[in-house]
A and B are shown apart, each in its own frame.
Chain A
Amino acid sequence: MERIIKFSSKTVVLPNEDVDTDQIIPARFLTLPSKEGIGECLFYDWRFNESGQPNKDFILNKEESQNCSVLVAGNNFGCGSSREHAPWALVDYGFKAIVSTSFADIFKNNSLKNGLIPISVPEEMHKWLIDNPGVDVMIDLENTLIQTQQGHESSFPVESFSRYCLMNGIDQLGYILSQETEITKHENKL
Chain B
Amino acid sequence: MLNNSPKTLFEKIWDQHIVVPETEDTPAILYIDLHLIHEVTTPQAFTQLKENNLSVRAPDKVLATMDHSTPTVPIKTIKDLDLVAESGPAEQIRDMIKNCQDFGIELYGFDSDHRGIVHVIGPELGATQPGRTMVCGDSHTSTHGAFGALAFGIGTTEVAHVLATQCLLQRKPKTLAVNLNGNLNNGVSAKDIILKIIGTIGVDGGTGHVIEYRGDTISSLSLEERMTICNMSIEGGARAGMFAPDEATFEYLEGRPMVPKGDDWHDAVEQWKQLVSDKGSVFDKEVDIDVDSLKPMVTFGTNPGMVMPIDSEVPDHKGNHSFKQALDYMKVESGKPLLQKPIDVVFIGSCTNSRLSDLKDAAEILEGRKVADGVRAMIVPGSQAVKAEAETIGLDKIFLESGAEWRESGCSMCLGMNGDTVGNGQLAVSTSNRNFEGRQGKGSRTILASPKTAAASAISGVVQDPRIFGNN
Interface residues as binary, B120-149 with A (CB distance below 8 Å gives 1, 0 otherwise):
000000000000000001110000000000
| B19 at interface, CB cutoff 8 A | yes
Instruction: From B25-33, B215-223, B356-364, give the one contacting chain A.
Output: B25-33
The distance in angstroms between the C-alpha atoms of A75 and B305, with both chains bound, is 14
User: A20-52 CB contact bits vs B (8 Å, 1 = yes)?
Assistant: 101100111011111100000000010000000
Q: How far is the CB of B79 from chain A (nearest CB, A)?
A: 20
Contact A32 B154, beta carbon cutoff 8 Å: no
Q: List the A residue with the shortest CB-CB distance to B416.
A: A27
Given known contacts A31-B417, A33-B43, A76-B203, A26 and B92 CB-to-CB distance under 8 angstroms = no
A51 and B40 CA atoms in complex are apart in Å by 27
Residues of the A chain whose Cβ atoms lie less than 8 Å from the Cβ of B157? 84, 110, 113-114, 172
Which A residues are CB-close (under 8 A) to B52? Answer: 173
Whether the Cβ atoms of B26 and A75 lie closer than 8 Å is: no
Q: Hey, which chain B residues are within 8 Å of A74, CB to CB? A: 322
Contact yes or no, B40 A30, CB < 8 A = yes
In the complex the two chains form, what is the Cα distance from A118 to B143 in whole Å? 27
**CB of B321 within 8 Å of the partner chain:** yes
Is A128 part of the contact surface with B, judged by Cβ < 8 Å?
no
Cβ A105 vs Cβ B239 within 8 A: yes
Interface of B is mostly: loop
Contact (Cβ within 8 A) A22 B439? yes
**Residue A164 interfacial (CB < 8 Å):** yes
- Taking CB atoms, residues of chain A closer than 8 Å to B295 are none
Q: In the bound complex, how far is the Cα of B158 from the Cα of A170, in angstroms?
A: 15
Q: B20 at interface (Cβ–Cβ under 8 A)?
A: yes
Contact B167 A176 (CB under 8 A): yes
A92 CA to B345 CA, complexed, in Å: 36
Interface residues of A in 166-183 (CB under 8 A from B): 172-173, 175-177, 179, 182-183
B25 engages A160 (CB within 8 Å): yes
Q: Known: A23-B437, A35-B44, A183-B166. Is A109-B204 also a contact (CB below 8 A)?
A: no
Contacts known (A31-B92, A159-B171, A160-B25); A182 close to B19, Cβ less than 8 A:
yes
Distance A107 CA – B196 CA, assembled complex (angstroms): 24
A132 at the interface (CB under 8 A from B): no
- Cα–Cα distance between A44 and B322 once the two chains are bound (Å): 18
Residues of B with C-beta under 8 A to A87:
155
- Given the known interface contacts A84-B157, A183-B167, the answer about A164 and B25 at a Cβ–Cβ threshold of 8 Å is yes
Residues of B within 8 A of A23 (CB): 436-438
Q: In the complex, which residue of chain A has the Cβ closest to the Cβ of B138? A: A82
Distance between Cα atoms of A81 and B414 in the complex (Å): 12
Task: Let me know if B24 is at the binding interface, CB within 8 A.
Answer: yes
With A15-B321, A161-B169, A176-B167 already in contact, 13 other A-B pairs whose C-beta atoms are closer than 8 Å: A22-B439, A23-B437, A27-B439, A30-B40, A45-B437, A83-B40, A83-B41, A110-B157, A114-B157, A175-B169, A176-B29, A179-B19, A182-B19
A residues with CB within 8 A of B: 15-18, 20, 22-23, 26-28, 30-35, 45, 74-76, 79-84, 87, 102-106, 109-110, 113-114, 159-161, 164, 172-173, 175-177, 179, 182-183, 185-187
Could you name 18 residue pairs across A and B whose Cβ atoms are closer than 8 Å?
A16-B322, A18-B322, A30-B41, A31-B40, A31-B69, A33-B95, A35-B44, A45-B443, A83-B40, A84-B41, A87-B155, A106-B153, A161-B27, A161-B169, A173-B161, A176-B161, A176-B169, A183-B29
Complex A-B, nearest 9 residue pairs according to Cβ-Cβ distance, in ascending order: A31-B88, A110-B155, A84-B155, A82-B153, A76-B204, A17-B322, A84-B156, A82-B139, A113-B157
